Amino acid sequence: MIQELKFNRVYLFEPMLTQAESKFISLQGISIISENENGERKVHQKTLFYMPHCPIMLYNNVIKSNWDTGQYTKLAIIGNSFETYDLNSMGTSLGDKCPFIQSALTQGIVTETLFVDFEPLSHAFNNTALIQFKSFK
């Protein structure tokens, strides 16, 4: 898949990897990020973040870390729908907790493509979307 998508480098952060999993992943040419960056990774080229069912603050931190430099336009995220988070904020302001997600939604720079439900586990992957930001091509 790495070759098919033409990624030069692939990085992974997963705090619960076993030693065997780490070894296997490394043998696949994937670099393991050893320190928890809390989603605050700056990008310099087109970057896909695979983050299904992560806490909303991690998504916000990814955008925040790339906002001032305009590098957010190089981000794509596979994760929970931001629009669904906005609709389900249950009377609290999404902007209070996640101002960068709220700004992106308000400014209309977010494009979401929802994934088709995976039967029979549609409950496990509901609201999963490819989230892109204007100018990400």
pTM of the model: 0.82
Collapse the DSSP code of 114 into the 3-class scheme (helix H, G, I; strand E, B; otherwise coil) and give the result.
strand
CA 65 and chain centroid, separation: 13
Print pLDDT tens along the chain (137 aa): 556 656 677 888 988 999 999 999 999 888 999 999 999 999 998 888 989 889 999 999 999 999 999 999 999 998 999 988 766 665 567 778 899 999 999 899 999 998 877 666 666 667 899 999 986 44
Of 120, 117, 118, 137, the C-alpha closest to 74 is 137
Taking the domains of the chain in order of start, what are their residue ranges?
1-36, 39-133
How far apart are the C-alpha atoms of 99 and 114, rounded to whole Å? 22
